[in-house]
Structures are given as structure tokens and as C-alpha cells.
Amino acid sequence: MQWHEISITVPYEYVEPISYLFDRYGQGLSMEVQSQDQVLLRTYLLSTARQRLAHIEVGVKLTSILQPLGELQINPLPPDEDWQNAWKSHFTILKLGRHIVIKPSWLEYQTEESDIVIELDPGLAFGTGYHPTTYTCLESMEGIIKDGMSVLDLGTGSGILTIAAIKLGAAHVTSLDIDSIAVKAAKTNLKNLGLSSKTTLHQGTLPHPQLKNTLFDVAIANISARAIRERAHHIFSVLSDSGTFIASGITREQIIETKSELKTAGFKNIEENPREDWVTLVCKR
């Protein structure tokens, strides 16, 4: 049996859906920045894994309907190639904001005193920091979250924003996600980093029975514009009087409608943090 390397180059905003395909159906997942807005993704499959390859091919074709992607490359590996470590050699450290560094566990990194290092291995897939919405969420959080704050992470995914909130000084983070797989992934990542004691994870969304009479200093929702509009009033109600809401997953075309709904819910002083075709909104209560 022979191993094949499966690879494709995609824009930043499509790293997470394609990495989900690679992580679910392939063996290993690597991301290598090619340019300012392109990332090369790799995974590995046995030549006999035809059904798994077919799932990847269908997923890439469906995604290409929304956005033209690079061609899916399928290349045989030399018989003596160690695929289990080959994919790791292509993974890079991601720096964003002023001090945030996202690194996989096997890479060496010489930290500086001001660095906020988030160690998060690929796999269980969404929330790598490459997507523009995740990137701008982290940028916004860096300027808002202070020591001792309580934080709500709505739609936690891999838990990257929960991890970042703790690293930025949050005393406790409550994380919600409607997807049981995402909750399991976040729990695993938090346990591996020794952060479980500072977090509470629940499956579901707002309003949530476990959060009655609970107020937060900061709420973060990297979900979708529609979900944000539908939950704006519920999010407003769980924030303290001086609370801040960081809302992401919003395209430029959705800004006006989303800001209008947020203002109706009671939010004021809404600032925009744009990146590519996406915008993160920072809203004061």
C-alpha cells in the first residue's frame, strides 16, 4: 500500500471548512502560509482509501461553488516517507494582534516577555486562527479583556477564543456550542492545556438554563450574522452594565442590518474591525 499527499491552496477564509474535510477524512493536517491571503493545506491518505478521497473531492467541489479554489493535488509519497511526521514539518507558527502567538505543541518557539502563547494542535478542526473572523476576534479581545474578567464564548468551536480569553487574564470563561463534537473538542484542548478549572462548557445557546442570573464582563460570538441578530437581546441581557460584546462572522454586506438589530437590543458605540470580506463588531452595552 502506498501513501498519497493530498493538498490544495485556498484563501484564508476557506482554511477552516477545507481543514475540516482534511481532518475528518485524511490522516494529519498541516497549514503553510503561501502569501498574504493564501494557505496551502495538506493531508495524507492510503491509495486504498478511495471513499475517503471521494468525500474530500466532493467537499472541495461544493466549496468551489462559493469561491474558486486551487486544484486538489494528489501526489504519491516515496515508500520510505514517514507521513506521520511529514505533515508536521509544514505547519507554521501564527502571530496576530500585538502579542498573540498560536503554535502547535511540537514546534520550538523562543518566547518574548510580552508574548501570549496559545498552544493549539490542529485537528477537531474549526478555530485555527487563520480565518479572518477568528483573527479579528482575537485582535479585539487583546484590547478588551483584563485580569479578573468573566467571559462568555458563544459558539466556542475548538475553544481557541476561550483559551485566548484565559491567557489574556480572564478569571473564568463560560463556553457554549450547539454542536456536541465542538464541545468535546474544546474540552479536550482545554484539558490538554491544563485550563479546565477556569472554564465551564455547556452544549446549547442563549438563553441557557444554566446561565440564569449570570452576568459577564465580555461576551464573544464568532458565529454568523443571522445568529447574532437572533440572539442580540439575549446577549445584551447577560452582560454587566459596563459589558462589551465582540460579534463576528459578519460579512460587509450584513453590517447595516446587524448593527441595526444590535442597537435595537440596546448596544451603543459599535466599532468595526474589518479584515478581507469580514467584519468584527465591538459593541458597548
For the segment 162-217, what is each residue's pLDDT rounded down to a tens digit? Answer: 999 999 999 999 999 998 878 888 888 889 889 999 999 999 999 999 998 899 99
Max mean pLDDT among 41-50, 77-86, 124-133, 260-269 falls in 260-269
Nearest by Cα to 280 from 96, 135, 100, 94: 135
Query: pLDDT-based confidence at 30, cuts 50/70/90?
Result: confident
Assess whether pLDDT exceeds 50 at residue 48.
Answer: yes
Calculate the CA 101 to chain-centre distance: 14
Nearest by Cα to 3 from 58, 43, 40: 43
Q: For residue 207, is the peptide bond before it cis, meaning its omega torsion is within 30 degrees of 0?
A: yes
What count of Cα atoms within 13 Å lies in the side-chain half-sphere of residue 52? 18
What domains lie within the chain, and their CATH numbers?
3-90 (3.30.70.120), 94-284 (3.40.50.150)
Q: Are 127 and 161 within 8 A, CB to CB?
A: yes
Q: Is the dihedral of CA 121, 88, 70, 26 positive or negative?
A: negative
